[in-house]
């Protein structure tokens, strides 16, 4: 019983990082109705960033966070201009395909360069022990950092002018343009933020688990499940739903072979969407002209 | 009257070329590459019905191909059925599954549906990998005895090839017939504006499930033929997402929503790939090329090759489809 | 004689907003009923409740005697009810003829493709689009798109047509032309429920008027009666004294 509880708590810690990743998706989706299918690749990017900064440059693990954050933002903005800018306003199908295409390119290059080799970043951080059970220090640190980043994001969105602009564009892009908000810049910024979040969540995952170039797929699926559960464009929902998913994983993993976890999450994803076609906490009203 | 449409004869000629070309000089190498092309065209044509007509992207369409392969191989090895009933039964089984599942999954709108289709493929693969009667992770091997009723392995390979070419042709004709039918009109209305279509009376849930199911049938049969030919099927080959990704790129490249598009796209794709991959064929670089092509099309020519041709020479619409 | 359309105590709430409240009215078989009210009164919501885009929280909708409450839009269309949208929704890449053919194929009569094209052509001619049959819908002007929306709805051969601000955005000549078309539609025996802001137009077209305000029925009656109803004037102008002053005439 205690073992199960420990598993659940650990799941919650890891789940918070899922929430962080999902915030990246939901921000982009909420602001510009674009599904970023490079999300998985960006997570992997964060993982590799961590690896090269620690193994290659000898930086302490968590010192990699700021550079990855900044680099992720830069990559995101560049990606916006390359693949997304022309797709905004077109049917969402098109942006789906364009980001999918970029993902193919990135993962293809990645596997060409590094194959399916398993990479591992060893981070030694004392854990927290309770009786027989140890909660790895990396997991706790990841949750703490997630909370910090989420707090900063909230501050940005709700207490700064730029954040307000982002929320305005998310609510009604045309109206925002009419009141003089430079929507294109805001969109690029939002995309950069979304990718930065993906990269950072990848970095944090990299401190906890080993990874390959192809690991992004699984985390991307988890991000989408969490996004949908939490409701589109709803960062709070994403965080809560991420923790919830982590919790469910913590509950299930002692009883289920690992390969089934993903299947279970997919089934959950489809089932929730079929029952609640707008996601669980649908705070955004449909934009149809009804 | 379809016999008067030039398109009908163009497809017939293509089928004839496919059938005849390798027989000249018993060119097995040509046959093998044309066989792969025929598979691509089949997958792309059927994918096109969902994507180009109804506007729904099926990222995991390969699941029909793989399941069809499994059904056929299972029927032949475990139940000792002959080839034809096995592939037909496979086709029917997969379409029926698709129909039932389709009603549920197609309640998801556009983008959610696309995401879910990736998951469908992964889920089915995970299931099959753990499914004992179908060989689990090791898969199913077919003994070469099964080629005897077809006149031995060498002749069987030719027969399978011809049937596959036939399936390819059927896919193109099916695509055409759907396009010019009332069903096709409804699908295209859904693709343009699903809500407006519903208000006009198009029975959207039923039509979407139907096209999903229909787009599963011929790929399932193709899968049965393909894996019977290889005499071996295992989950990673059967449910290879890369194949459906390439089918998607081919459809977009040739021109979604057109009937000739997938065929042209397959040809172009093969040419471009052969051109760019000089020596070693890293499957990773194939993905990179596919990605670059797709990106270029989506950004600059969403109508694909056919879209560009129709833009330049509108008269062509009368000749091609 | 049972009415063609019967709305009985229908309500709809969105989050905290009560969009429609206990609304009841009827539309007769050959009637043109006008639905007016200030912005936000709930008129388009009423349309959405009738044709199945939303299901009402309470109340019933009856059409031709059958209870169609909460049925999905495509089934409602099959019953013989068609609708145009305030913001036009043409199928952009399809031609004018194809657009109308969709209506004819899937509406009440559920025609096969060939016959549907005939009806579609007829309707396109009726609204004056006969010379643009092969043009893609995206190439039409706003007035053309409005006519297309109308023709498409008509092609379904409905018994009741819901017109949602079909005159909005048209210049006076186009408005005149459209009014003529609407009258021609009525000649064909189709009942019409029309939402419109252009007062003169809707007053002259309608046999009866229902006035909505904040989701409730404010008044109902002949156009002349409704026009001088103080509550109605107040709802539009917001000041009861002003209403009295207006009624007493210019000084």
Q: For B152-182, what is each residue's pLDDT tens digit?
A: 888 889 999 999 999 999 999 999 999 999 9
pLDDT at A102: 93
Among B248, B292, B298, which residue's Cα sits nearest to residue B273? B292
**High-pLDDT (> 90) share of chain B, %:** 45
Q: Is the pLDDT of residue B46 over 50?
A: yes
Q: Does A179 touch chain B (CB under 8 A)?
A: no
Within a domain: C6 = yes
> Helix count (H) and strand count (E) of chain B?
14, 2
Q: Does A264 touch chain B (CB under 8 A)?
A: no
Within a domain: C213 = yes
Within a domain: C8 = yes
Within a domain: A286 = no
A262 vs B105, B122, B248: nearest CB: B122
Instruction: Provide the residue range defining the domain that includes A271.
Output: 2-104+136-275
Give chain C's mean pLDDT: 89
Is A200:A72 a contact under the CB 8 Å cutoff? yes
Q: Cα dist. B165→B26, B66, B83, B236, C196 in Å?
A: 17, 18, 16, 25, 59
Question: What contacts A193, CB < 8 A, 6 or more positions away?
Answer: A24, A27, A73, A76, A153
In whole angstroms, give the CA distance from residue B144 to residue B133: 20
pLDDT at B65: 96
Chain B partners of A272 at a C-beta cutoff of 8 Å?
Answer: none
Q: Is the pLDDT of residue C177 over 80?
A: yes
Is C140:C128 a contact under the CB 8 Å cutoff? no
Nearest CA in chain B to A95: B298
Binning pLDDT at 50, 70 and 90, where does residue B143 land? confident
The shortest C-alpha distance from A284 to chain C (Å) reads 12
Is B163:B155 a contact under the CB 8 Å cutoff? no
Test the B interface: residue of C87, C93, C106 with most B CBs within 10 Å? C106
In whole angstroms, give the CA distance from residue B20 to residue B24: 7
Nearest CA in chain B to A222: B119
Is C146:C169 a contact under the CB 8 Å cutoff? yes
What CATH number does residue A160 fall under? 1.10.3470
In whole angstroms, give the CA distance from residue A55 to residue C193: 73
Within a domain: C4 = yes
The shortest C-alpha distance from B195 to chain C (Å) reads 9
Instruction: Provide the residue range defining the domain that includes C62.
Output: 1-73+196-251
pLDDT at B73: 93
Phi, psi of B230 (to 5 degrees): -75, -15
Within a domain: C138 = no
Burial class (CB in 10 A: 0-12, 13-18, 19+), A215: buried
Is this model's pTM higher than 0.90 or not?
no
Is B260:A71 a contact under the CB 8 Å cutoff? no
**Residue contact A101–B107, C-beta within 8 A:** no
B201 vs C78, C92, C98: nearest CB: C78
pLDDT at A176: 86
pLDDT at B111: 74
Instruction: Tell me the mean pLDDT in the region B303-318.
Output: 83
Nearest CA in chain C to A282: C15
In whole angstroms, give the CA distance from residue A266 to residue A171: 29
Instruction: Tell me the mean pLDDT in the region B111-134.
Output: 84
Q: Tens-digit pLDDT profile for chain A (290 aa)?
A: 777 788 888 888 889 999 999 999 999 988 888 889 999 999 999 999 999 888 888 888 888 899 999 999 999 999 999 888 988 877 777 888 899 999 989 988 888 888 888 888 887 777 777 777 778 888 888 899 999 999 999 899 888 988 888 888 888 888 888 888 888 899 999 999 999 999 999 999 998 888 888 888 888 888 888 888 887 778 888 898 999 888 888 888 777 777 677 778 888 877 877 777 655 655 444 333 22
The structure tokens 């997958």 sit at B43
ipTM higher than the 0.90 cut:
no
Q: For B52-103, what is each residue's pLDDT tens digit?
A: 899 899 988 999 999 999 999 999 988 888 889 999 999 999 999 999 988 8
Give chain B's mean pLDDT: 88
Within a domain: C82 = no
Around Cβ C15, how many Cβ atoms within 10 Å? 8
Q: Does B182 touch chain C (CB under 8 A)?
A: yes
pLDDT at B108: 81
pLDDT at C75: 93
**Residue contact B57–A267, C-beta within 8 A:** no
What CATH number does residue C202 fall under? 3.40.50.300
In whole angstroms, give the CA distance from residue A219 to residue A75: 19
Number of domains in chain C: 1
Give the range among A4-8, A221-225, B191-195, C212-216 with minimum mean pLDDT: A4-8
Within a domain: A109 = no
Start-end of H helices in chain A: 2-32, 39-51, 65-79, 92-114, 137-159, 161-171, 173-178, 183-208, 216-230, 235-252, 258-275
Q: Does A286 touch chain C (CB under 8 A)?
A: no
Q: Which of A21-30, B210-219, B240-249 has the highest mean pLDDT?
A: B210-219
Q: Cα dist. B175→B34, B49, B64, B261, B321 in Å?
A: 21, 6, 17, 11, 10
pLDDT at A287: 33
In whole angstroms, give the CA distance from residue B34 to residue B19: 9
Q: Does B202 touch chain C (CB under 8 A)?
A: yes
Is B68:B298 a contact under the CB 8 Å cutoff? no
Residue of higher predicted confidence among A9 and B274: A9
Q: Does C114 touch chain B (CB under 8 A)?
A: no
Q: Does B1 touch chain C (CB under 8 A)?
A: no
C-alpha dihedral (B289, B290, B296, B298), degrees to nearest 10:
-170
Q: Is the pLDDT of residue C153 over 90?
A: yes
**High-pLDDT (> 70) share of chain B, %:** 96
**Residue contact A98–B298, C-beta within 8 A:** yes
Question: Does residue B76 sit in helix, strand or coil?
Answer: helix
Q: Cα dist. A31→A27, A99, A280, B22, B113 in Å?
A: 6, 16, 18, 54, 20
Within a domain: A92 = yes
Beta bridge partners of C58: C11
Instruction: Tell me the mean pLDDT in the region B197-217.
Output: 94
Question: Would you list the DSSP string of B288-306?
Answer: HHHHHHHHHHHHH-TTHHH
Handedness of CA C76, B52, A216, B62 (dihedral sign): positive
Within a domain: C137 = no
pLDDT at B4: 76
Question: What contacts A245, CB < 8 A, 6 or more positions away?
Answer: A15, A18, A222, A225, A226, A229, A265
pLDDT at B225: 95
Question: What contacts A92, CB < 8 A, 6 or more positions away?
Answer: A33, A34, A35, B110, B111
Within a domain: A288 = no
Number of domains in chain A: 1
pLDDT at A288: 32
The shortest C-alpha distance from C44 to chain A (Å) reads 7
Residue of higher predicted confidence among C193 and A289: C193
Q: For A192-217, what is each residue's pLDDT tens digit?
A: 999 999 999 999 999 888 888 888 88
Within a domain: A115 = no
Binning pLDDT at 50, 70 and 90, where does residue C242 land? low
In whole angstroms, give the CA distance from residue C63 to residue B10: 51
pLDDT at B243: 87
pLDDT at A221: 83
Q: For C120-144, what is each residue's pLDDT tens digit?
A: 999 999 998 999 898 899 999 988 9
Q: Is the pLDDT of residue B279 over 60?
A: no
Is A128:A143 a contact under the CB 8 Å cutoff? no
Q: For C45-70, what is each residue's pLDDT tens digit?
A: 999 999 999 999 999 999 998 999 98
pLDDT at A19: 93
pLDDT at B144: 82
Chain B partners of A100 at a C-beta cutoff of 8 Å?
Answer: 59, 294
Identify the chains in contact with B, defined as 3+ C-beta pairs within 8 A: A, C
Within a domain: A156 = yes
């Amino acid at each position: 019983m205690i073992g199960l509880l420990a598993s659940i708590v650990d799941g919650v810690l890891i789940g918070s990082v899922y929430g962080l990743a999902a915030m990246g998706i939901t921000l982009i989706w909420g602001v510009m109705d674009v599904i970023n299918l490079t999300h998985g690749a960006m997570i992997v990017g964060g993982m590799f960033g961590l690896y090269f900064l620690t193994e290659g440059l000898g930086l302490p693990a968590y010192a990699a966070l700021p550079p990855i954050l900044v680099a992720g933002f830069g990559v995101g903005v560049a990606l916006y201009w390359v693949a997304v800018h022309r797709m905004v306003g077109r049917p969402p199908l098109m942006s789906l395909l364009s980001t999918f295409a970029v993902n193919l390119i990135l993962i293809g290059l990645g596997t060409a360069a590094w194959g399916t080799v398993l990479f591992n970043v060893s981070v030694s951080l004392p854990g927290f022990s309770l009786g027989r059970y140890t909660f790895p220090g990396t997991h706790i640190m990841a949750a703490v950092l997630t909370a910090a980043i989420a707090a900063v994001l909230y501050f940005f969105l709700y207490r700064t002018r730029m954040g307000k602009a982002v929320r305005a564009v998310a609510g009604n892009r045309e109206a925002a343009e009419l009141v003089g908000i430079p929507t294109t810049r805001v969109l690029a910024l939002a995309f950069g933020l979304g990718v930065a979040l993906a990269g950072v969540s990848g970095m944090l995952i990299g401190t906890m688990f080993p990874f390959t170039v192809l690991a992004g797929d699984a985390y991307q699926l988890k991000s989408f499940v969490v996004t949908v559960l939490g409701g589109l464009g709803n960062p709070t929902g994403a965080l809560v739903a991420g923790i919830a998913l982590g919790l469910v994983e913590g509950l299930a993993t002692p009883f289920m072979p690992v390969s089934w976890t993903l299947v279970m999450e997919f089934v959950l994803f489809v089932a929730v969407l079929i029952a609640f076609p707008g996601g669980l906490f649908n705070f955004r009203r449909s934009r149809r002209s009804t | 009257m379809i016999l008067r449409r030039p398109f009908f004869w163009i497809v017939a000629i293509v089928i004839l070329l496919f059938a005849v070309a390798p027989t000249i000089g018993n060119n097995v190498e040509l046959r093998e590459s044309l066989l792969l092309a025929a598979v691509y065209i089949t997958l792309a044509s059927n994918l096109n019905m969902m994507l180009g007509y109804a506007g729904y992207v099926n990222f995991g369409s390969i699941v029909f191909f793989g399941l069809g392969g499994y059904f056929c191989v299972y029927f032949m090895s475990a139940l000792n059925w002959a080839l034809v009933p096995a592939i037909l039964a496979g086709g029917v089984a997969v379409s029926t599954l698709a129909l039932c599942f389709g009603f549920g999954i197609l309640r998801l709108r556009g983008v959610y549906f696309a995401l879910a289709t990736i998951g469908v493929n992964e889920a089915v693969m995970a299931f099959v990998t753990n499914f004992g009667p179908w060989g689990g992770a090791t898969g199913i091997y077919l003994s070469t005895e099964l080629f005897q009723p077809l006149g031995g392995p060498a002749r069987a390979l030719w027969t399978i090839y011809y049937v596959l070419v036939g399936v390819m042709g059927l896919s193109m004709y099916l695509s055409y017939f759907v396009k010019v039918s009332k069903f096709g009109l409804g699908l295209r209305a859904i693709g343009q504006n699903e809500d407006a279509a519903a208000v006009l009376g198009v029975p959207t849930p039923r039509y979407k499930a139907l096209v999903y199911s229909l787009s599963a049938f011929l790929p399932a049969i193709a899968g049965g033929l393909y894996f019977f030919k290889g005499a071996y099927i295992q989950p990673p080959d059967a449910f290879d997402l890369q194949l459906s990704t390439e089918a998607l790129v081919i459809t977009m490249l040739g021109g979604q929503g057109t009937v000739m598009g997938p065929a042209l796209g397959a040809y172009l794709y093969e040419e471009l790939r052969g051109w760019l991959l000089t020596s070693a064929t890293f499957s990773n670089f194939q993905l990179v090329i596919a990605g670059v092509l797709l990106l270029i099309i989506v950004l600059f020519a969403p109508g694909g090759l056919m879209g560009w041709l129709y833009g330049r020479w509108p008269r062509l619409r009368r000749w091609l489809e | 004689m049972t009415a063609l359309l019967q709305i009985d105590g229908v309500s709809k709430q969105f989050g905290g907003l009560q969009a429609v409240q206990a609304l009841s009215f009827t539309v007769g078989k050959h009637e043109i009923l006008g639905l007016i009210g200030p912005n936000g009164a709930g008129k388009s919501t009423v349309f959405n409740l009738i044709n199945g885009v939303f299901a009402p929280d309470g109340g019933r909708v009856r059409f031709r005697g059958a209870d169609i409450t909460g049925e999905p839009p495509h089934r409602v269309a099959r019953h013989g009810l068609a609708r145009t949208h305030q913001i036009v929704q043409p199928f952009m890449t399809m031609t004018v003829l194809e657009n109308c053919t969709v209506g004819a194929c899937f509406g009440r009569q559920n025609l096969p493709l060939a016959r549907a094209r005939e009806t579609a052509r007829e309707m396109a001619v009726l609204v004056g689009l006969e010379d643009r049959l092969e043009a893609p819908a995206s190439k039409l002007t706003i007035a053309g798109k409005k006519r297309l929306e109308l023709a498409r709805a008509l092609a379904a051969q409905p018994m009741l047509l819901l017109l949602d601000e079909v005159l909005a955005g048209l210049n006076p000549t186009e408005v005149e032309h459209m009014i003529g078309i609407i009258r021609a539609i009525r000649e064909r025996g189709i009942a019409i429920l029309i939402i419109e802001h252009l007062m003169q137009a809707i007053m002259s077209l309608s046999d009866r008027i229902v006035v909505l305000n904040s989701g409730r029925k404010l008044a109902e009656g002949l156009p002349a009666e409704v026009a001088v109803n103080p509550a109605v004037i107040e709802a539009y102008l917001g000041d009861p004294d002003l209403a009295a002053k207006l009624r007493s005439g210019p000084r």
